[in-house]
Amino acid sequence: MTRQRRAASAASAAAASAGAASAGAASARAAGAPGSGPGGRFPARIPGTAQPPALTLDALGKKCPIPIIMLADKIREIPVGQTIEVLADDPAAKSDLPAWCALKSQEFVSAADLPVGWSFLVRRSY
């Protein structure tokens, strides 16, 4: 084999390998692999936070007060000081979640826009 053919063969093998890796990552995201967020739609870690949330609640497609009810039910399952992420697409959640946190003395950490809805981060205070 000539030097040019070997280089072309190596380049096409590298491209095929990269394509397979990309396809594998896409299927892992679609399967909901760890770190890919629910359904692989977005990252599980909120930008600017030191660690991923201890629990993620997927309330996408549910109208308020369901995201609040889900949060109130599950927040007791995480240790004090840890965070819980609530994914919601109901516009009422943008005001209801911070209000619930203030009412229940929990720390509302952040809200981040997602391709569909928002990600809210709450730290358990007690």
Closest among 99, 34, 31 to 120, alpha carbons compared: 99
Question: Between these two residues, 86 and 29, which has the higher pLDDT value?
Answer: 86
pLDDT digits (tens, 9 = 90+) for 61-92: 999 999 999 999 999 999 999 999 999 999 99
**Six token digits for residue 103:** 């009412």
Of 15-19, 26-30, 41-45, 48-52, the one with minimum mean pLDDT is: 26-30
pTM of the predicted model, to two decimals?
A: 0.63
Pairing outcome for strands 55-58 and 83-88? parallel
Domain range list for the chain: 1-31, 40-123
Residues annotated as catalytic (active site), given as ranges? 64
pLDDT of residue 47: 54
What fold does the segment set 40-123 form as a domain? Translation Initiation Factor IF3 (3.30.110)
Q: Where are the alpha helices (DSSP H) in 1-126?
A: 3-30, 66-74, 93-103
